[in-house]
Chain A
Amino acid sequence: MGILSLEGIGKSFSGQPVLKGINLTVQEGEFVSLLGPSGCGKTTTLNVIAGFQHPDEGEVRIAGQRVNEVPTHRRNLGMVFQGHALFPHMTCFENVAFGLRMRRLPAPELQARVTEALELVHLGGFDRRYPRELSGGQQQRVGLARALAVRPSILLLDEPLSNLDAKLRRAMQGELRAIHTRVRTTMVYVTHDQEEALTLSDRIAVMNGGRIEQLDTPEGIYRRPRTRFVADFIGSSSFLEGTVAEAVGESLAILVSNAGQIHALADRGRWARGATVQLGVRSDKVRLASPGRSAGAQGLEGTVVDRVFAGAAFHVVVDLGEGRRLTAHLTEEPPTSVQPGARVGLRVDPGDWMLLE
């Protein structure tokens, strides 16, 4: 059943649908990310869980109980906000103690819980500081301590790291992982940062246009994206269309018009001869080969349009004609003959082709 379940959540703002039937079950102790571009509905989903917004249809359940009609303050949640949203008129101690005071916890226990929460985020001894006397990272950690102190059934995180600089963000990601491992609080994390979602989550719900496009482990999302949107949103990929020339078991021979033929492994679904398939490939799975040799039976051929040195990799963009382009990220420097205008062959292992819906 899960600690949290969303069943067919629909929500419109002035006639404009923002959520279109969201279904999501989160297990106790799980870290689930809602990942997507702005306007995909991830924040609205979080607000529906928090009770800041009421769904037009569907059911929100926390620990099996329907909470649609339960006001926010009785849902026993914790939340970390994008801008820390600390109470500026309270010290760190009072900020962290806030939820416990609302719950009328006796003083000794309150004191212990606040101290524990502040130590968990490495801010022991900061009790008497006001929020504006702290750095951005420290403020966000107080926000986390405030949310954890109430021992929420679910901790909601709304892009908590997006206001921090890149280095601090990575450090905080590590800390967040460590804290999750330690306290095992169920966390629902909203982000538009794919790397953040991949490194932190047990499962990721990739959202697009008010729907969950795919719900899977980070590995599943990365290796087996179901749709072009998911493949495109996470990592760097190129996309092609092809026609099934031959299907033997899980192995497909796919014809890419005027560019060659490839072999792909179909790990799900059945493909008939003549069917049109959408193909995707990660840029780091594309290798170069000599032209001619690989064409026809095995591989693709095209014309180099760009060659870029990008630090850790060389990026080579190849034009396959008809406006189709494939990008290869190569860890080794390609031969000097690979220059704009040159013909090159491209090879991809059958298992590295992604067959998309």
Chain B
Amino acid sequence: MTLRRSALPLALPAVAWLLAFWACPLLLVFSMSLREMDPVTFVVEGFTLGHFKEVLTDQFHIESVLRSLRLAALTTLLSGLIGYPVALHLSRTKSERARAVFTMLLLIPIMVSLVVTAFAWILILGPNGFLNQIILALGLSAEPLKVLNSESGVLIVLTYSFGPYMVINIATALDRIDPAVVRAAEVHGASAWQKFLHVTLPLSFPGILSGGLIVFSLSAAAFVTPYIIGGNRVKVVPLQIYNAAVTSFDWPIAATLSVVLFVLAMVLATVVARLAERRFAGWLRSAP
């Protein structure tokens, strides 16, 4: 336990940094949600639960919270479905060079600014975009699909933007699987599909879980993508927070929305992760 004792002083600067620049603002937001503020004089005073009552009873706000959580959940699901085969392919790529190129390509959506990404997608998803040109040319639809300024458009671009986190997390988990374990499954009678279902998939579960948590939190908090792709029509919570804080100077409502989204996203993510872990990964918690 000497290690634990000696490591604490080393962690102090980081802890201090987090307290000052992460915990304090967060606490300020929490406290703001419980107080009144005059929108003209900016004087903060009193104590009230009224903002929570307002947010939680207002149809408009409730819908935006549900929309945010739904979008985050769907983005996570879609990233997993599309990302898993990609991760599988990446981890099976033997050549170091091909791997490096592949990884670079994967990281592009993360490295390019979300604003740039979003405007590029407008060109693809717009009424006269590539997607609609193809659909019209193939005669799949008589008129252009309304993907832009819709939830499905936001979903597509969120998946594109955050999916790579899923791929990289799953690929890392896949890389950690001992090839002999997969061979053991094969030699004892598992077909390619059974090998995947009974060995590869469960053993990559930690990667799915960590990738899923990252994609979920990023998409629940996403602002730029819904703002640009949704054209202010897909009212997600971060957008509402922005409008409340910047347009109507209603900081307490903005703070309350933040707290509600934060708590709900945390609870949902924790519950799902716990349930999934219990169901699929009890082995992770076995001793030692």
Interfacial residues, chain A to chain B (CB-CB below 8 A): 50-52, 71-79, 81-83, 85-90, 98-99, 102-103, 129-130, 132-133, 143, 146-147, 150, 156
Contact = CB atoms under 8 A, between A and B. Distances in A.
Instruction: Bin chain B's interface residue count.
Output: 20 to 34
Which 8 residue pairs of A and B lie closest in terms of their CB atoms, listed nearest first?
A102-B189, A99-B188, A85-B180, A130-B286, A89-B283, A79-B187, A85-B184, A72-B186
User: Which of B178, B185, B186, B189 has its CB near the most chain A CB atoms (within 10 A)?
Assistant: B189
A353 to B, nearest CB: 45
Contacts of A102: 188-191, 194
B50 to A, nearest CB: 50
Contacts of A71: 191
B199 interface: yes
B283 A73 contact: no
Interface of B: 178, 180-181, 183-191, 194, 198-199, 202-203, 205, 281, 283, 286-288
Contact of A150 (B178, B186, B188, B194): B188
Nearest to A85: B180
- Name, among B183, B184, B187, the residue most crowded by chain A CB atoms within 10 Å (CB to CB): B187
Contact of B188 (A90, A133, A146): A146
Contact of B190 (A73, A133, A143): A73
A77 B203 contact: no
A87 B187 contact: no
Contacts of B184: 79, 81, 85-87, 143, 146
A269 B190 CA distance: 51
Given A50-B183, A89-B281, 17 more contacts: A52-B186, A76-B189, A77-B187, A79-B184, A81-B183, A81-B184, A85-B178, A86-B181, A88-B283, A89-B203, A99-B188, A129-B286, A130-B283, A130-B286, A132-B288, A133-B286, A150-B188
Given A52-B183, A87-B199, A88-B203, A73 B189 contact: yes
Contacts of A150: 188-189
Nearest to A158: B180
A50 B288 CA distance: 33
Nearest to A143: B184
A98 B197 CA distance: 12
Contacts of B286: 129-130, 132-133
B189 A81 contact: no
12 contacts: A52-B186, A72-B186, A73-B186, A74-B189, A76-B189, A79-B187, A81-B183, A88-B203, A89-B281, A89-B283, A98-B190, A146-B184
Given A89-B203, A89-B281, A130-B286, A147 B183 contact: no
Contacts of A83: 178, 180
Nearest to B280: A89
B259 to A, nearest CB: 38
A98 B283 contact: no
Contacts of A76: 189
B202 A98 contact: no
Nearest to A102: B189
Among B184, B188, B191, max chain A CB count under 10 A is at B188
A343 to B, nearest CB: 56
Given A50-B187, A73-B186, A89 B194 contact: no
B189 A103 contact: yes
Contacts of A81: 180, 183-184
A127 B26 CA distance: 49
B192 to A, nearest CB: 8
A98 B188 contact: yes
A52 B190 CA distance: 13
A90 B205 CA distance: 14
Nearest to B194: A102
A134 to B, nearest CB: 10
Given A85-B181, A86-B181, A78 B287 contact: no
B187 A78 contact: yes
B4 to A, nearest CB: 23
Nearest to B202: A89
A73 B202 contact: no
A256 to B, nearest CB: 50
B183 A85 contact: yes
A320 B183 CA distance: 53
Nearest to B281: A89
Contacts of B198: 87, 98
Contacts of B287: 132-133
A335 to B, nearest CB: 55
B186 A90 contact: no
A46 to B, nearest CB: 11
